């Protein structure tokens, strides 16, 4: 068996999943190719590595081993280190060992091997800005395995292991002789070679970015897996599965609210009772079993003739230096609707601030024409963004603060009052449930981010305008979708 030092990414990314490890070895269906956002991150990661390479070339003489036959590269890497080369780019290590009683060969290809004060430094470039074991255990295991490979091939451990992260700073990685890495490789081998698919609960946010999403989700729906029930977390699904409760029907047949509330599932190093979530879980399971919504409680909406729908598009800090909103979208719906009010970020150093000021101008105009009108959004992110931008650029005239005072988060209202026969309360799922249809065949927050970066990077003005038009259309339809859900929700509450 041949294992690569990047095996840990197969398990941990985009989310920890032993089934993905199994499927990559035994897949009945092909893994879907990377989406536009994943392709973007891959390209940005390569650019980040190349940028660091150029910086190193000003101080080191490079031995480039990035191309060629594998066996030849392995020999040249060892020879370059033995001869004291200053800097080896994409050297290749190969060593054999026994894991779980099986002989395996392990391959590792660190980005940079640099001569240090008393030995060699093994370094990788990673786009992530927060390099810590909690958020990125795969980085730590990979680097530990590089350390072990170096020691096996050269005979001494590396001087140190380190990461050149997205913040353009170096983060040291401790070397434990490879113990932690080998413990996880043992698990990865077990997942690869088990006779049947290991049970790994599906989850909407967990699985959405995985290339096996369609396969795994389809299988879960066929067997009516209890993990499809909203509020059934991964630990609870596993704990119930361990006692033979695997389907929605089995959950309802064996548990009522009282019994489920006392059920304990793993929670960190301890266990925790399901508690107050049990009632909603049972109702959600009933809704899915009966394929119809169940009203749990009547919620009151503010009485107003008009409502503003509010949605932002942004890029995370691993792509930009700061978390940046590149489009603030507003539109009034109701008895006196407005046109679509978009505040997109201009390309340039001051684009972010101007984008924020454009949003404040639009919000001010709405307040002047409609009074103290609710700003309706889906989930808490819009509130976070307004607060962040008030801190970043100020709040001239107090418009941002007024927006905060008028925010109405529709998600918790719907989630707490209606049990829907859906696996997620994502807007994209709920809008489809209420019958809203989009005009675009491709869309989504990650798709929008990829399009925005593409627009920023192109020098073709016509192409940039076309890409921005696609993003604006997506944002406009996000607002239309939020309004469709709000109208459905108002009508549903009026029926009670």
- Which residues, at least 6 apart from 103, have a Cβ–Cβ distance to it below 8 Å? 1, 96, 97
Q: What is the DSSP string of 17-71?
A: -HHHHHHHHH-SSPPPPP-HHHHHHHHHHHHHHHHHHHHHTTTS-EEE-SSS-HH
Q: What is the pLDDT of residue 321?
A: 65
The rounded distance, in Å, linking the Cα atoms of 390 and 397 is 11
The rounded distance, in Å, linking the Cα atoms of 295 and 108 is 55
Model pTM score: 0.90
The rounded distance, in Å, linking the Cα atoms of 28 and 212 is 10
Q: What is the pLDDT of residue 320?
A: 64
**Residue 312's beta-bridge partner residues?**
328
Q: What is the pLDDT of residue 4?
A: 92
CB 455 within 8 A of CB 468: yes
Per the listing, tokens 């749990």 go with: 296
Q: How far apart are the first and last CA of the chain?
A: 63
**Residue 3's beta-bridge partner residues?**
106
The rounded distance, in Å, linking the Cα atoms of 440 and 185 is 42
**What count of residues does the chain have?**
496
Phi, psi of 423 (to 5 degrees): -85, -10
Task: Specify whether the backbone of 177 is left (phi greater than 0), alpha (psi in -120 to 50) or beta.
Answer: left
Residue range 450-488, pLDDT digits in tens: 899 888 888 898 999 999 999 999 999 999 999 999 999
Task: Tell me which DSSP letter residue 247 carries.
Answer: B
Cα distances (angstroms) measured from residue 414 to each of 65, 116, 496: 57, 59, 15
Stated as kind and residue range, the H or E segment containing 160 is strand 160-164
CA angle 151/154/157 to nearest 5° reads 35
Closest listed residue to residue 225, CA positions, set 237, 213, 212, 242: 237
Residue range 356-376, pLDDT digits in tens: 999 999 999 999 999 999 999
Closest listed residue to residue 73, CA positions, set 37, 44, 108: 108
CB 183 within 8 A of CB 177: no
- Which residues, at least 6 apart from 482, have a Cβ–Cβ distance to it below 8 Å? 309, 311, 376, 377, 378, 410, 427, 431
**Residue 62's beta-bridge partner residues?**
87
What torsion do the CA atoms of 218, 226, 299, 438 make, to the nearest 10 degrees? -10
Residue range 335-346, pLDDT digits in tens: 999 999 999 988
**Residues lower than pLDDT 50 in the chain:** none
**373 burial via Cβ count (<10 Å: 0-12, 13-18, 19+):** buried
CB 105 within 8 A of CB 119: no
Instruction: Extract the tokens encoding 331.
Output: 């539109």
Alpha helix ranges (H) inside 135-262: 137-154, 179-193, 204-207, 213-223, 234-242, 248-254, 257-262
Cα distances (angstroms) measured from residue 343 to each of 353, 354, 461: 11, 9, 19
């Amino acid at each position: 068996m041949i294992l690569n030092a990047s095996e840990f990414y197969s398990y941990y990314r985009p989310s920890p999943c032993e089934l993905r490890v199994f499927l990559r070895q035994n897949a009945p269906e092909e893994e879907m190719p990377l989406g536009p956002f994943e392709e973007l991150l891959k390209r940005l990661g390569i650019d980040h590595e190349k940028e660091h390479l150029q910086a190193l070339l000003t101080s080191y003489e490079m031995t480039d081993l990035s191309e060629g036959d594998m066996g030849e590269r392995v020999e040249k890497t060892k020879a370059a280190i033995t001869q004291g080369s200053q800097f080896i780019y994409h050297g290749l290590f190969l060593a054999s060992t026994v894991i779980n009683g099986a002989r395996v060969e392990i391959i590792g290809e660190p980005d940079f091997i640099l001569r240090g004060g008393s030995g060699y430094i093994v370094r990788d470039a990673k786009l992530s800005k927060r390099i810590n074991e909690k958020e990125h255990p795969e980085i730590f295991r990979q680097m530990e395995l590089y350390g072990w490979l170096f020691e096996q091939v050269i005979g001494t451990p590396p001087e140190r292991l380190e990461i050149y992260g997205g913040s353009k700073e170096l983060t040291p990685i401790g070397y434990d002789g490879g113990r932690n890495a080998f413990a996880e490789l043992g698990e990865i081998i077990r997942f690869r070679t088990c006779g049947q698919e290991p049970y790994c609960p599906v989850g909407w946010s967990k699985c959405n970015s995985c290339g096996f999403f369609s396969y795994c989700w389809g299988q879960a729906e066929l067997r009516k897996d209890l993990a499809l029930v909203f509020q059934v977390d991964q630990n609870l699904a596993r704990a119930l599965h361990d006692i033979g409760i695997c389907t929605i029907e089995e959950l309802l047949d064996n548990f009522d609210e009282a019994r489920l509330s006392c059920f304990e599932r793993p929670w960190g190093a301890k266990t925790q009772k399901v508690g107050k979530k049990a009632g909603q879980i049972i109702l959600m399971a009933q809704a899915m079993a009966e394929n119809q919504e169940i009203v749990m409680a009547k919620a009151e909406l503010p009485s107003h003739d008009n409502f503003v729908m509010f949605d932002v598009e942004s890029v995370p800090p691993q792509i930009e230096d700061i978390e940046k909103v590149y489009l603030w979208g507003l539109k009034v719906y109701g008895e006196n609707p407005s046109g679509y009010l978009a505040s997109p970020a201009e390309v340039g150093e001051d684009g972010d601030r101007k984008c924020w000021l454009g949003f404040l101008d639009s919000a001010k105009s709405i307040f002047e024409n409609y009074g103290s009108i609710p700003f309706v959004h889906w989930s808490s992110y819009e509130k976070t963004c307004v607060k962040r931008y008030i801190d970043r650029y100020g709040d001239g005239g107090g418009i941002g603060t007024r927006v905060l005072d008028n925010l109405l988060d529709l998600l918790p209202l719907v989630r707490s009052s209606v049990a829907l026969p859906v696996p997620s309360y994502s807007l994209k799922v709920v809008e489809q449930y209420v019958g809203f249809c989009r005009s675009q065949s491709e869309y989504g927050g990650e798709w929008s981010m990829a399009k925005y970066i593409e627009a920023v990077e192109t020098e073709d003005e016509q192409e940039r305008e076309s890409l921005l038009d696609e993003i604006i259309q997506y944002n406009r339809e996000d607002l239309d979708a939020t309004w469709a859900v709000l109208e459905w929700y108002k009508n549903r509450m009026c029926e009670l």
